[in-house]
A = this chain, B = another copy of it.
């Protein structure tokens, strides 16, 4: 019984890692398509999001079955409840990659981002990809050094997000209102992606240490 239970717990952990690897694919492809106005790649991200949603539901159902059949307590229980929360964050990261691709599709064949902000968004994309990869590694290794690195990447994203808003508020901003709307939404999607990554990192830290990181950790 105990052996079966440990195998089930292990499977739930593997399920989270599997979803996180799809989230890496989604953010890498969606940000590349976003930068290159690549319609086909954007469509692929949009289509692939259903798989993340399916895997999340499947993982959650398995977690609930384990709760029902094994009645876990203490750290095992917290691991399963934590998995339900982390799967929700990962699913939301997939949604945000999809939203980025939907903007790409909406403005195709044009680029969403005007020339002066292209490099800022490229850097935000790099930080989001770093976060996605480190979240996946963290789920696997539980090495809390990675959690600090995720928080540091989020701090960078916060700065870049502010840069974008400052640019739109500056007197020399000469873009159309439609572009201003797109840039606002895009910056928010890139920024929220990072938030959910930090949220997963906080949950892993909690499972490892038994203590919640302060809110400042979430704020990066």
Contact = CB atoms under 8 A, between A and B. Distances in A.
A1 interface: no
Contacts of A168: 177-178, 180-181
Contacts of A77: 64, 67-68
A185 interface: yes
A121 to B, nearest CB: 16
A95 to B, nearest CB: 11
A78 B68 CA distance: 9
Give the size category of A's interface with B: 20 to 34
Tell me the dominant secondary structure on chain A's binding face.
Answer: helix
Interface of A: 64, 67-68, 71, 73-74, 77-78, 81, 84-85, 88, 165, 168-169, 173, 175, 177-178, 180-181, 184-185, 188
A78 B81 CA distance: 12
Nearest to A180: B180
Contacts of A165: 181
